[in-house]
Chains A and B, each alone.
Chain A
Amino acid sequence: MTPVAADIKERLFNIRELPTIPVLHNRILKLMDGGNYSLDDLSNLIERDQVLSGKVLKLVNSPFYGLYSRVASVGKAIVLIGSNPVRGIILSTSLFDIADEKLPGLWDHSYCCSVVSGFLANRFNMKDIGEIMTAALLHDIGKVLIRKQLPEESAEIDKTVQSRGISVMDAEKMIINVTHDAVGSWIAGQWNFPPIINDIIAYHHKPGLCGTYPKEAAIVHLSDIIVKGIGVSASMDRAVPLFDEQGWKNLALPEDELMDILSEVLDIIEAEPAFSQYLSKEKR
């Protein structure tokens, strides 16, 4: 890869431009960073923020987690999903606020990937389900920063995707010579995410190259392909990403199970009202 033009790099990675995190959210993050906190402390802080509590409860009651019974308390939610998804929700909230206007549908796509990744992680008996779901929630976060920092180039990227029928990755390479997986991994680094989340974001388009978490990255990669294939994606960003053969091999999933998995995924997606608009063309 040729080096990224200096000015693009500077504009993109200008750290002062990273969205600031609200004071309360910062306190929650600090508390979790310390590692030494009680569940009550954490849930009390989270409960002070209606929107945040709502998102935590929504995630825990998503079709994947909500299998058994409805969870109404933040404390119980954290016991079930762990604190990492909370971190993901807080950090994505500030960035996705921008995304809502710049890339409508990206939050739905990301949330859907998170739910499907949770289902697949469970299917593969992975132990870090919460981390995998958080990474899936943030997998395309690099796109948001690119859109925020490089509006002109982003318009150019959109135009190129439309006119040439190529993937966003390829268009990013052409226009700015850096891709959103690398940008996302950089953000994850700035926000001190654990390596597993950073790696999944960095390799979500080429999980076969991921040394430490190849299966985890492949799960998010496969979710991304399935979710986009079904149509839950941002309106400017419909194309299914290039399939990574090595990543698929690492999953060791028998081909004849695809049909069962896809039909179960569709049941899960249909159970979430937020996704129905993307499936509206479906016959019944």
Chain B
Amino acid sequence: MQRVSIDEVRPAMVLAVTIKDNNGNILFLKGVELTDRHTVLLNNRDIRKVVVEGRPVKREENEIEKLHKEIDERFVTAGPNSIVLKIRDIIKDLLT
């Protein structure tokens, strides 16, 4: 998955994380295909970033690699448990 800012959202991107407003009310459920109508509403609600399926937005490869390496290094001391490795991998995805 990928965390993208609202102005990077293009039609047909699919939400990977349910969006809630500041009061915790659900706005859009994960699995929803985003349209322009959605982005207008998100902008109105001051929501700046959303998590979408896949990696639809191109990013600088070198930067991604560098950041992933940095995060991997940080997590060496966290041990081999599968949960903490999952946390690591989600953070890697969300931060790039």
Smallest Cβ-Cβ distance to A239: which chain B residue? B77
Compute how far the CA of A33 lies from the CA of B48 in the bound complex, rounded to whole angstroms.
43
Q: Are A262 and B77 neighbours in the complex by a CB distance under 8 Å? A: no
Interchain nearest-CB distance for A146 vs B (Å): 18
Q: Which of A220-265 contact B (CB under 8 A)?
A: 225-226, 228-231, 238-243, 245, 248, 255, 258-260, 262-264
A240 with B78, Cβ < 8 A, contacts A230-B91, A282-B67, A282-B95 known: yes
**In the bound complex, CA of A248 to CA of B96 (Å):** 26
A239 near B76 with CB under 8 A, answer yes
A interface, size bucket: 35 or more
Question: Could you tell me if A263 and B3 are in contact, using CB atoms closer than 8 angstroms?
Answer: yes
Residues of B contacting A170 with CB < 8 Å? 77
A264 and B47 CA atoms in complex are apart in Å by: 12
Closest B residue to A233 using CB positions: B74
Determine whether A39 belongs to the interface, using a CB cutoff of 8 Å to chain B. Answer: no
Q: Is there a chain A Cβ closer than 8 Å to B34's Cβ?
A: no
Q: A240-B75, A266-B94 are in contact. Are A225 and B67 (CB under 8 A)?
A: no
* B71, closest chain A residue (CB): A229
Q: Which A residues touch B8, using CB under 8 A? A: 284
Nearest chain B CB to A256 CB, angstrom units = 10
Please provide the chain A residues from 159 to 174 with a CB less than 8 Å away from any CB of chain B in the complex: 165-167, 170
Q: Does A37 contact B (CB under 8 A)?
A: no
Chain A minimum-CB-distance residue to B84: A243
The interface residues of chain B lying within 8 Å CB-to-CB of A166 are: 77
Q: Which of B42-69 contact A (CB under 8 A)?
A: 48-49, 51, 59-60, 63-64, 66-67
A281 interfacial contact with B, CB 8 Å: yes
Q: How far is the CA of A240 from the CA of B78 in the complex (A)?
A: 5
Chain B 12-31 residues near chain A, CB threshold 8 A = 16-18, 20, 22-24
Query: Chain B's nearest CB lies how many Å from the CB of A49?
Result: 31
A225 contacts B87, C-beta separation under 8 Å: yes
Beyond contacts A67-B23, A242-B79: 9 other A-B pairs, Cβ-Cβ < 8 A, are A68-B23, A165-B77, A238-B74, A239-B76, A239-B77, A258-B90, A263-B3, A266-B95, A283-B95
Residues of B within 8 A of A (CB): 1, 3, 5, 8, 16-18, 20, 22-24, 48-49, 51, 59-60, 63-64, 66-67, 70-71, 74-79, 81, 83-84, 86-88, 90-91, 94-96
The residues of A with any CB-CB pair to B shorter than 8 Å are 67-68, 165-167, 170, 225-226, 228-231, 238-243, 245, 248, 255, 258-260, 262-264, 266-267, 270, 279, 281-284
Pick the 8 closest A-B CB pairs, nearest first: A243-B84, A240-B78, A239-B77, A167-B77, A243-B81, A263-B17, A229-B91, A242-B79
